[in-house]
């Protein structure tokens, strides 16, 4: 990886020092030489009323009959055909009906043996109502849907997307790409945006159905790498509208008395032909500069001295990138 990065970054060596670098545009679209692939925004779905809870194969129920000779059955499972086998009553078809309807059907069957008995049916485990959450979340797995469950609620059950890179059993665990997360139903990805769902948009925060799969990919290209003289060099989750100040804050801020507040480099685009800009935190603080909007995959590098050349920047970046710290850059190199 180190050799590959050295070759890819070699093009930077011919770039001039800080004084001749162009100012970072306020938005990526302001530079006509930079073209980023547009990702169409999901349109969402027409909101529908919550579907009523109906029993499905695998659901576990408990039965209580209040009578002169009461009795209880702690656990009964609905079989694959939607049938529930009840003592005294026998086979009762409950698949696809509500708990109240199932209770009434058992009550009707019981009348042949006990005219005064009262049936009470309860849901113990909604095993037949499950959705899966896979990928870069805190707790991937299969989750029961005990009632109407929205997409945002399902993601919360899994602990949300991972919010940082960390070592787990010698394996690099990457945080999740919320923008690329998809809800898959019947083998097809629904046209919904998870960030919009988390904002409460009813067109995107849809009701989850049994068998749905929520897949959260690892962040990879949707990240901003922040390195140099910051307190916590790291990758920052990218989202549309992310500003330079937010990325620097996410890396713990600049190192006081070491970082050059007037010389922050922004490296944009493929490393074989990058665009390199200069931004100034000093101007931003004083109100004389703009808070630059960052593009997907940008690298932000905070220099130590105003005379830092691009060669100096490269020499400091290569060892950082070579250990795989910037997933965004690695993705660009593989393309």
Give residue 252's pLDDT band: very low, low, confident or very high (50, 70, 90): very high
pLDDT at 292: 94
132 Cβ partners below 8 Å, 6+ apart?
141, 142, 143, 212, 213, 214
pTM of the model: 0.60
pLDDT number for residue 335: 35
The confidence score (pLDDT) of residue 304 equals 77
Instruction: Give mean pLDDT, residues 31-39.
Output: 74
More confident residue, 302 or 10: 302
Instruction: Encode burial over 80-117: b for 16+ CB neighbours within 10 A, e otherwise.
Output: eebebebeebeebebbebebeebbebbbebbeeebeeb
> Domains of the chain, with CATH numbers?
2-40+221-334 (3.10.560.10), 60-125 (3.30.1950.10), 130-216 (3.10.560.10)
Q: Which of 3-12, 29-38, 248-257, 272-281 is predicted with the least confidence, judged by mean pLDDT?
A: 3-12
Residue 326 has pLDDT above 50, yes or no: no
Task: State the Cα–Cα distance between residues 87 and 192, nearest whole angstrom.
Answer: 46
Q: Closest Cα to residue 244, out of 186, 199, 289, 288?
A: 289
Residue 263 has pLDDT above 70, yes or no: yes
Residue 176: beta bridge partners? 218
**Interval 191-217: pLDDT, tens:** 999 989 999 999 999 999 999 999 988
Confidence of residue 163 (pLDDT cuts 50, 70, 90): low
Confidence of residue 84 (pLDDT cuts 50, 70, 90): very high
Give the tokens for residue 15. 């770039």
pLDDT in tens, 266-294: 988 876 678 889 999 998 888 888 899 99
Which pLDDT score is estimated for 211? 92
pLDDT higher than threshold 50 for residue 317: yes
pLDDT for the residue 272:
67
The CA distance from 269 to 276, in Å, is: 9
Beta strands in the chain (DSSP E): 60-66, 71-77, 83-86, 90-93, 118-125, 130-135, 141-144, 166-168, 171-173, 182-185, 188-189, 213-216, 223-228, 234-237, 264-268, 275-279, 299-302
CA-based nearest residue to 173, from 149, 130, 132, 139: 139
Cα distance between residue 142 and residue 263, in whole Å = 48
332: pLDDT strictly greater than 90: no
> Beta strand 171-173 with 182-185: parallel, antiparallel or unpaired?
unpaired
Q: What percent of the chain has pLDDT over 90?
A: 37
Secondary structure of the chain: what % helix, strand, coil (to 5)? Answer: 25, 25, 50
């Amino acid at each position: 990886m180190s050799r590959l990065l050295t070759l890819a970054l070699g093009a930077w060596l011919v770039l001039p020092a800080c004084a001749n670098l162009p100012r970072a545009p306020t938005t990526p679209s302001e530079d006509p030489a930079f073209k980023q692939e547009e990702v169409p925004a999901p349109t969402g779905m027409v909101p529908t009323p919550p579907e009523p809870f109906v029993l499905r194969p695998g659901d576990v129920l408990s039965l209580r009959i209040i009578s002169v000779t009461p009795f209880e059955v702690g656990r009964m499972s609905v079989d694959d055909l939607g049938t529930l086998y009840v003592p005294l009553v026998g086979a009762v078809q409950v698949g696809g009906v509500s708990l109240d309807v199932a209770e009434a059907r058992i009550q009707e069957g019981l009348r042949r043996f006990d005219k005064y008995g009262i049936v009470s049916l309860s849901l113990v485990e909604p095993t037949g109502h499950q959705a899966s959450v896979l990928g870069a979340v805190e707790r991937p797995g299969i989750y029961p849907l005990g009632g109407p469950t929205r997409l945002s609620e399902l993601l919360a059950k899994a602990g949300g997307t991972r919010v940082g890179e960390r070592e787990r059993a010698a394996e690099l665990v990457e945080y999740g790409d919320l923008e690329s997360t998809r809800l898959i139903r019947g083998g097809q990805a629904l046209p919904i945006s998870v960030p919009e769902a988390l904002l409460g948009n009813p067109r995107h925060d849809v009701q989850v159905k049994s068998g749905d799969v929520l897949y959260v990919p690892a962040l990879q290209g949707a990240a901003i790498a922040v390195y140099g003289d910051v307190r916590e060099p790291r990758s920052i989750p990218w989202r549309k509208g992310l500003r330079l100040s937010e990325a620097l804050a996410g890396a713990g801020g600049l190192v006081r008395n070491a970082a050059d507040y007037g010389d922050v480099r922004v490296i944009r685009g493929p490393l074989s032909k990058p665009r390199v800009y200069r931004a100034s935190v000093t101007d931003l603080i004083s109100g004389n500069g703009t808070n630059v909007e960052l593009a997907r995959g940008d690298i932000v590098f905070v220099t130590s001295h105003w005379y830092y050349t691009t060669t100096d920047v490269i020499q400091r970046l290569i060892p950082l990138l070579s250990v795989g710290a910037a997933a965004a850059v690695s993705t660009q190199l593989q393309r």
